[in-house]
Chains A and B, each alone.
Chain A
Amino acid sequence: MNTVSQVRITREETILDGKCIFTGSITELYREFAGDYPKFFKMDSLCRLGFMAAELLLKNIPAPIRENAAIALFNRNGSLITDRNYQKTVSDDNYFPSPALFVYTLANIVTGEIAIRNKIYGESSFYILDEYDAALIEDIAASVFITSSPSLLLTGWVDYNDETDYLADMKLVTDNKTKIR
């Protein structure tokens, strides 16, 4: 696979194609590099993180190429933080289940949010592994091209533990036959 672009976001810094472009929270990153999508504030933290990583990677990719892109993301915690928050809304003494929270108790929603924002009609899938197994992640990502021909694959790790502990390590790749730039 050929890497077109890559981004790494932690609380400490945001690095795009090897250059540190920002230091701050995910919301501050949103205000700096997007700021035009109120739905961002409905998303849970995992989705906000994945959304911003995709935003930085896909900024200069033209619409026809984005349309046929594929998304394959990975993490270890699934949607656990939101799962815990949702669980609190169904406790015995305060039972008011929240649909807005429930919908985010699925890790693959982050791929949906990215697809909606970027008008991506290709494949979207989410995988959970017990550890950051770089070789397996690479195998699964590369294998997308075995049964399909996306113009571009947005792939990588996106995991969220709390406000200071999160990681998005994502890249845009093409198969060995396609050249984007």
Chain B
Amino acid sequence: MIACIADNIISPMGLTTEENFSSVSKGMSMLRNHEDTFGLPEAFCASMLDRELISGLFADHALSDNEYTFFEKLCILSATDAISSCALQAECEDVIFVISTTKGNVDMLETEPDCPGCRLAFSAEKIARYFGNTNTSVVTSNACVSGVCAQIAAIRLLLGGKYRYAVIIGCDVLSRFIISGFQSFKALSPEPCRPFDKERKGLNLGEAAGTMILENIGGTNVYGNGSLWEFAACSNHNDANHISGPSRTGEGAFRVLKDILEKIDRDDIAFVNLHGTATPYNDEMESIALHRSGLEDLPANGFKGYFGHTLGAAGIIETILSMKAVETGVIPATKGYGTKGTTYGISASSATRETDRNTFIKILSGFGGSNAGIAYRRRNVPPCATFRKGGEA
């Protein structure tokens, strides 16, 4: 059994998972208009971190500050919180680091285009080495679906038997490179985004880091805190249609949902957390995929109205938030959603809803025609006397 034993989210709305989920529960967002940021001629609406705050926090923790870029500091801070909360000995041989990012330190291209930090894997190695881990780390670079791909890759490596723990970090930071690119695609909304809504105009970008620590705990329950998040199913399918536009028939997303539904109990699904970028095409495509899967009446939601599209972090933070939702028994509202705006129904809501079910599905789609999904199930486990420390045999 693969279990999620620790997690963290850092975003403009908080430095821990709890702070971020609390912000979501209060309906908050840090989506703001930015003019002149990164010297861009066109303003944009995004959720951005306070770089000085993050640097300050990092300086409190670390030995030497100037070796690490903003992106790396963010990853390290997020992972530090998760690692310490489960007392994982991250330097052990049976721990592998998997990093989900689309562009890493791409902002370095402006000033130092030939420096090794421009390579995503170089950066990933620095992050793993910070924690003393010497295994080759894996970067999943699968556009917007990277975060779910990272989980799938990690789970498979754990099931393969060579590793017992995976530290999965998802992160992306914004830059002129990224914002200008999305602006050239006319994909951005000038206002806070409206997932699935009739008036949706496009997406907002956001910055965040998320960490999940997974463990292959075999068949035994050794954790005494009452419940366990267990991996249930995963899937990844390509639309084979277009490198940037979603499939008009939702083919890939439909196949992902079909695979996952074969492995979980449909009656125990609390909700499906969608990609919900609020572009006209993505949300329409997801409604088609849900319709073809017979899931139109299943509660659905999206988190991008709170955080924006956090790219490499999205798959991680949105999975963690979905876990918190199930734990509290409350499906968060889809911020920005008001009126049905897709051909087929998506059971999203601008209000919270209660649930007593234990499973959720997270799906994402992205450039390259990728579609990926993952499902987790919460299991109650009997309390036991000892809490085994991570990293020990």
Contact = CB atoms under 8 A, between A and B. Distances in A.
Interface stretch (A15-23, A128-136, A170-178): A128-136
Contact of A109 (B103, B237, B367): B367
Contacts, number: 173
Given A105-B103, A121-B238, A113 B243 contact: yes
Contact of A127 (B39, B103, B153, B162): B153
Interface in B229-268: 234-244, 251-252, 255, 259
Contacts of B369: 112, 115-116, 124
Interface in B135-183: 136-143, 149, 152-153, 155-157, 159-160, 162, 176-177, 180-181, 183
Nearest to A42: B243
Contacts of A120: 238, 240
B136 A136 contact: yes
Contact of A140 (B157, B241, B252, B366): B157
Given A78-B119, A147-B155, A147-B159, A122 B238 contact: yes
Given A123-B237, A130-B119, A136-B136, A83 B141 contact: no
A164 interface: no
Given A122-B238, A125-B149, A102 B184 contact: yes
B384 to A, nearest CB: 29
B243 A103 contact: yes
Contact of A98 (B119, B155, B184, B235): B184
Which residue, of A105, A115, A123, has the highest number of chain B Cβ atoms within 10 A?
A123
A77 B119 contact: yes
Given A78-B119, A113-B243, A108 B368 contact: yes
B204 interface: no
Interface in A62-115: 71, 76-78, 80, 83-84, 86-87, 90, 92, 95, 97-99, 102-103, 105-109, 111-113, 115
A83 B141 CA distance: 14
A98 B242 CA distance: 18
**Majority DSSP secondary structure for residues of A touching B:** mixed
Contacts of B184: 97-99, 102
Interface size class of A (residues with CB under 8 A): 35 or more
A106 B138 contact: no
A64 to B, nearest CB: 14
A150 to B, nearest CB: 10
A65 B128 CA distance: 39
B222 interface: no
A181 B125 CA distance: 40
B241 A124 contact: no
Contacts of A125: 140, 142, 149, 152-153, 236, 370
Contact of B237 (A113, A121, A128, A131): A121
Given A124-B238, A129-B121, 10 more contacts: A95-B180, A99-B181, A103-B244, A108-B366, A115-B239, A116-B241, A125-B140, A126-B142, A128-B121, A148-B236
22 contacts: A77-B119, A78-B121, A87-B110, A87-B113, A87-B177, A90-B180, A95-B180, A98-B184, A103-B243, A103-B244, A105-B181, A106-B102, A108-B143, A109-B367, A115-B369, A116-B243, A123-B235, A128-B138, A128-B139, A129-B136, A139-B162, A143-B156
Interface of B: 39, 41, 102-103, 106, 109-110, 113, 118-122, 124-125, 136-143, 149, 152-153, 155-157, 159-160, 162, 176-177, 180-181, 183-185, 234-244, 251-252, 255, 259, 366-370
Interface of A: 71, 76-78, 80, 83-84, 86-87, 90, 92, 95, 97-99, 102-103, 105-109, 111-113, 115-116, 118-131, 133, 136, 139-140, 142-144, 146-148
